[in-house]
Amino acid sequence: MKVELLHYAPKSPEGYIAMVMRRTRETSTIADIQKSLNAKKGWVETLVRLAKRKKHYGVFEHITYWFNIEQVSRVLTHQLVRHRLASYAQLSGRLSNIDDGYVIPPLNYVSNSKQREELRQFFETRFLAQFVDYKWLVKKGVKVEDARYLLPNGQYTCIMLTLNARSLMHIIKLRTASEAHWEIRELAGHLWNLVKPTAPTLFELIPDDI
């Protein structure tokens, strides 16, 4: 799995959230609000925590993050795109030939290591066979968009994700839970680790009801 934070805006997320918080409470100009925020040390962090404590989550929607996600399965992306308050651009199976990459489940719940390796090899054998059949169909003139019907859910795919901080926090909260599927739980962990440095106060703790 490869996850990249491509961009985020504004460049000072917590300062912007604090400014939005003040905007909802003051008639001062934005310039004066910014000046007052800069004048008082720790005021930005205080306002971000206040927004979380007061459940004023709408102010987080003014912050946007862009991610590139590669080497994940379609099992994962089928779950991810259920989060509708986000924008996605995924590799097209109609417009591109699919490579042989695939995700094999870790099977950690199988305690016998020999049996676990046997099962892993079975997954790999079946994956490779499906890719061979896929390429054979394409070589025979079957359109890529039809040949892909043979491919497994475990095939590699890549997807770009754009969403606001509130939606991101919601995904992180749901998908890092112990009952979440292992692959999307791994993705959520990567997302969280990538955004923490951009806004440490905002992402230090995800509210339960976000």
Q: Is the pLDDT of residue 79 over 90?
A: yes
8 Å CB contact between 97 and 144: yes
- Residue 7 belongs to a domain: yes
Q: Are residues 117 and 133 in the same domain?
A: yes
Please tell me whether residues 63 and 116 are part of one structural domain: no
pLDDT tier, 110 (very low <50, low <70, confident <90, very high otherwise): very high
Residue 185 domain-assigned?
yes
DSSP structural state of residue 60: G
Which pLDDT does position 95 carry in this prediction? 85
Q: Please indicate, yes or no, whether residues 145 and 174 belong to a single structural domain of this protein.
A: no
Asked whether 60 and 202 are in contact (CB, 8 A), the reply is yes
Residue-wise pLDDT tens digits, 166-180: 999 999 999 999 999
Residues 53 and 16 placed together within one structural domain of the fold: yes
Percent of the chain scoring above 90 in pLDDT: 91
Distance CA 3, CA 163 (A): 15
Q: Does 162 lie in the same domain as 63?
A: yes
Q: Is residue 89 part of a domain?
A: no
Query: What is the rounded distance in angstroms from the CA atom of residue 164 to the CA atom of residue 170?
Result: 10
Pairing mode, if any, of strands 156-164 and 64-73? antiparallel
110 and 149, same domain (yes or no) = yes
Separation between Cα atoms, residue 187 and residue 180, nearest integer Å: 11
Quick one: 20 and 122 in the same domain?
Answer: no
Return the H-helix or E-strand segment holding 70. Answer: strand 64-73
Task: Identify whether 175 is a catalytic site residue.
Answer: yes
For residues 149 and 173, membership in a common domain is answered with: no
**Rounded Cα gap, residues 14 and 36, in angstroms:** 15
Residues 170, 116 share a domain:
no
Best CA proximity match to 88, nearest among 157, 161, 156, 158: 161
Structural domain includes residue 38: yes
Give the other-Cβ count within 10 Å of 201's Cβ.
20
**96 in a structural domain:** no
Q: Which domain holds residue 147?
A: 104-153
Report yes or no on 117 lying in a domain. yes
**121 shares its domain with 135:** yes
**Mean pLDDT over all residues of the chain?**
95
Residue 81's pLDDT band, with cuts at 50, 70 and 90, is very high
Strand partners, 167: none
Kindly state whether residue 147 falls inside one of the protein's structural domains.
yes
- 48 in any annotated domain: yes
Average pLDDT over residues 66-92: 97
Could you give the percent of the chain with pLDDT greater than 70?
A: 100
Domains of the chain: total: 2
47 in the same domain as 145: no
The CA distances from residue 39 to 19, 25, 44, 57, 198, in Å, are: 13, 18, 10, 25, 21
pLDDT band at 115 (very low <50, low <70, confident <90, very high): very high
Q: What is the CATH number of the domain that holds 50?
A: 3.30.1360.170
Both 108 and 162 in one domain: the answer is no
> 121-176, pLDDT tens digit by residue?
999 999 999 999 999 999 999 999 999 999 999 999 999 999 999 999 999 999 99
Q: Residue 9 has which token pair?
A: 């805006």
Catalytic choice (22, 126, 175, 185): 175
